[in-house]
Amino acid sequence: MYFAALTSKQKKVYSAIESYIKTNRIPPTVREIGEILGEKTPGAVQGILNRLEQKGAIKRQVGMARSIQLVSSETALYLDPVYIPEIKKISRRNIDDLLNIYNIKHYQPIPPQILDSTDNCFIIICPDDSLSKRGIKYMDKLIFKAASDFNDGDIILALYDNHVLIRKYLKDPQHNLLILEADNYFIDKKIFTKDEVKIVGKLMLGIIKY
Domain ranges of the chain: 2-70, 82-208
What number is the average pLDDT over the span 43-55?
90
> How far is 133 from 81, CA to CA, in rounded Å?
31
Which carries the bigger pLDDT value, residue 71 or residue 102? Answer: 102
The residue type of 99 is L
pLDDT tens per residue, range 93-135: 888 888 888 999 888 877 776 677 788 899 999 988 888 888 8
Res 177: pLDDT: 87
Given a cut of 90, whether residue 157 has pLDDT beyond it is: yes
What number is the average pLDDT over the span 147-167?
88
Which carries the bigger pLDDT value, residue 187 or residue 169? Answer: 169
> Which CATH number does 2-70 carry?
1.10.10.10
**pLDDT band, residue 78 (cuts 50/70/90):** low
**pLDDT band, residue 62 (cuts 50/70/90):** confident
Answer yes or no: pTM beyond 0.75: no
Q: Where are the alpha helices (DSSP H) in the chain?
A: 8-24, 30-37, 42-54
Fold of 82-208: Umud Fragment, subunit A (2.10.109)
In angstroms, the first-to-last Cα distance of the chain is 32
Comparing 2-70 with 82-208, is the CATH topology the same?
Answer: no
> How far is 42 from 178, CA to CA, in rounded Å?
48
Task: Confirm if 138 and 193 have CB atoms less than 8 A apart.
Answer: no
Q: Is 104 helix (H, G, I), strand (E, B) or coil?
A: strand
Res 73: pLDDT: 47
